[in-house]
Amino acid sequence: MMMASDRSDFVRLAVPPIAWVVAVGAIVALLLFDILVLHRKPKVLSARRAAIETVAWILVGVCCGLVVIAVAGGGAGGEWFSGYLIEYSLSIDNVFVWALILTHFAVQPDYQHRVLFWGVFGALVLRAGFIFAGVALVQRFEFVLFLFGAFLLYTAAKLVIGDDLENDPTQGRFIKLIRRVVPSTEEIDGPHLFTHVDGRRLATPLFAVLVLVEVTDVLFAVDSVPAVLAVSNEQIIVFTSNAFAIMGLRSLYFLLANMRARFAYLQQGLAVILAFVGIKMIISRWVHISTPISLIVIALVLASAVGFSLSHTRAHAGISMSEDPPPLDER
């Protein structure tokens, strides 16, 4: 059993190896169920199906958090839910970048889920490396907290004064580099990443899309992993909260891919969250912000950003519908 110690900053857990085996086993089992049962055949997800799967993944995440509370106590559970909310909210912009990439390369809707599945699988592996390295650095070198905090404040400022999508990830030399290093074909062969042409094994365009998806996830991890480390330094909490948030992003993609315009204030909300956790990191040596307070702040900011965005969308829709039609001679 995992037991939490009484520390004033973060919980410390004595994690037996079996806990890691169960956690990783559950994640792998859920991924296999998703790809081999729910999405065994390539198909287009309807908005209704995407909404149902999104809610189901959120419920799975909530259940995992409740298990953490039952096994390790409320302090560990609070850190888990804080990390989950941070990762899930910051990953929403990642969803819109995926939409940009898949649209640019004209990936058929039938094949998008398969590409994103392998993208999420790779993201889990990469995040694990980021998390273990980040936790080790924070625990060994206290000044790393200040560096992470400053970087999060810088990122928050960029979100406020700039556009996170102004640099098109589908352009530039990166794709040319992939095709130069990996022999490729311009023809898509169904959902396959590789195909055979004239006896040669070549990468299909879906392979380049997958690599680009992984690269963008690494870029987002540079922001989100330090942010989650502001609410927990326990590796199993940080990793599982990240993993369960990331696994639900594919269904969220099919639900939100074409709805970015409806979330006008989401970017500002994410900036506030990043600024909050950045300040929390910087002042942690002198002022401790408890996990419940962090969880409440993150949830309120995210809910406010979504609420203001939906109100903004409805207001603009009402204005456009209330405009008088042009005279007949001008139609």
Per-domain boundaries in the chain: 17-314
Annotate 106-123 with DSSP letters as a single string: T--HHHHHHHHHHHHHHH
* Residue 327 predicted with pLDDT over 60: no
pLDDT band at 244 (very low <50, low <70, confident <90, very high): very high
The pLDDT tens digits for 277-320 are: 778 778 877 777 776 787 788 778 878 887 887 787 777 665 55
The pLDDT tens digits for 193-232 are: 778 777 778 877 778 788 877 777 776 676 677 778 878 8
pLDDT computed for residue 291 by the predictor:
66
pLDDT computed for residue 223 by the predictor:
67
pLDDT band at 329 (very low <50, low <70, confident <90, very high): very low
Share of the chain above pLDDT 70, in %: 79
Distance CA 62, CA 56 (A): 10
Q: Is residue 223 within 8 Å of residue 274, measured between CB atoms?
A: yes
The pLDDT tens digits for 7-60 are: 446 788 888 889 999 999 999 999 888 888 877 776 777 778 888 989 999 999
* Residue 328 predicted with pLDDT over 50: no
pTM: 0.71
pLDDT computed for residue 55 by the predictor:
92
Cα dihedral across residues 240, 33, 39, 50: positive or negative? negative
pLDDT computed for residue 4 by the predictor:
43
Q: How many CB atoms lie within 10 A of CB 36?
A: 9
The pLDDT tens digits for 138-180 are: 667 767 777 777 877 877 787 777 654 444 455 555 666 777 7
Distance CA 168, CA 220 (A): 14
